[in-house]
Copies of this chain bind each other. A is one copy, B any other.
Amino acid sequence: MQEHDNSLNITVYKLSEEASYTKLFHSYREGETLPSGKALREVVELCRSILFPGYFGKARINAETLRYHIGVHVETLHTQLSRQIYAGLCFSDTHCESCTDRSRNEKAAQLAETFIATLPAMRDTLATDAEATYRNDPAAQSPAEVIICYPGFQAIVNYRIAHELYKLGIPFIPRMIAEMAHSDTGIDIHPGAVIGDHFSIDHGTGTVIGETSVIGNHVRIFQGVSLAGEKLPPDENGNTVRGVTRHPILEDYVTVYSNATLIGPIRIGRGATVCGNVWVTSDIPAGQMVKQWTK
């Protein structure tokens, strides 16, 4: 090893030069931490344990002791989520001089509380998603199989959690939760998308639902489907324009089959069907079907 030390020391020197690291360096203030992927995985696990009692979490649960378990899980969720939201606030807002640690800590605790208050309604919506997934897939043997095994349902759970956090204006955390599901399932739903009830995604690998997509109720999507954004011209200063509506709208009861690509702020009418491998860039009237030309 000793013979390599000189070369290694030269590299250490180069990598420690300010000119080298300045573009890729993040500088902290006292007491700040990074949002943690590992902690957010636990946050999602806690949400799952609360939403689906008996399916996730280690302990045996029965109706009598259910409240004890939910009580402990909710309290733990509040503590851990507050910490991650705080980390996200610090990370995105490194120049706010007026906001002290204490006020940010309090803001994070308040946001976590507001999020937790959405869980009962979220559970109701997820019950419709589980039911729709089971009804739509002839290979499913029970709703329980959907809740435990289906990647599409897993991605929808993460999306619904991330979306509520996104609506509260929390930075970073929603995207990290969405990317967890993306990594595990290959399904990439942006937390900003708006999605109705009875939603199902089958197989799902490669599916992308962009930031400003709007999806109605009873919509069904397959693997490899893209709801993609229109490319926008830069603004007068040459900067990327952000936050503009640029993704498709799918009305109720739409079905999109595998590997179809829908681009731009187009409208797919109620009950329309988009067949597999099609490239769609304009509106489709209600009830119609679009197909690729094949042999």
Q: Which residues of B contact A147 (CB under 8 A)?
A: 24
Assess whether A217 is interfacial by the CB under 8 Å rule. no
User: A275 vs B279: C-alpha distance in the bound complex, in angstroms?
Assistant: 9
Assess whether A259 is interfacial by the CB under 8 Å rule. yes
Assess whether A44 is interfacial by the CB under 8 Å rule. no
User: A139 vs B191: C-alpha distance in the bound complex, in angstroms?
Assistant: 10
Q: Determine whether the beta carbon of A120 is less than 8 Å from that of B259.
A: no
CB distance from A21 to the nearest CB of B (A): 6
Q: Which residues of B contact A64 (CB under 8 A)?
A: 2, 5, 9
A36-66 near B? 1/0 per residue, CB < 8 Å: 0000000000000011111100011111111
Assess whether A215 is interfacial by the CB under 8 Å rule. no
Q: Determine whether the beta carbon of A11 is less than 8 Å from that of B119.
A: yes
Assess whether A194 is interfacial by the CB under 8 Å rule. no
Assess whether A164 is interfacial by the CB under 8 Å rule. no
Assess whether A218 is interfacial by the CB under 8 Å rule. no
Q: Determine whether the beta carbon of A294 is less than 8 Å from that of B277.
A: no
Please tell me which one of the listed residues B30, B149, B246, B290 contacts residue A2 in the complex, with CB atoms under 8 A apart: B30
Chain B residue at minimal CB-CB distance from A71? B68
Please tell me which one of the listed residues B110, B243, B277 contacts residue A4 in the complex, with CB atoms under 8 A apart: B110
User: A2 vs B65: C-alpha distance in the bound complex, in angstroms?
Assistant: 10
User: A53 vs B24: C-alpha distance in the bound complex, in angstroms?
Assistant: 7
Given contacts A27-B54, A67-B68, A279-B277, contact A120 B20 (CB under 8 A): yes
Q: Determine whether the beta carbon of A176 is less than 8 Å from that of B149.
A: yes
User: A73 vs B192: C-alpha distance in the bound complex, in angstroms?
Assistant: 38
User: A188 vs B78: C-alpha distance in the bound complex, in angstroms?
Assistant: 36
Ordered by A's residue number, 9 sampled pairs between the chains whose C-beta atoms are within 8 Å are A1-B30, A59-B72, A92-B141, A92-B142, A138-B211, A151-B183, A183-B185, A206-B223, A275-B279
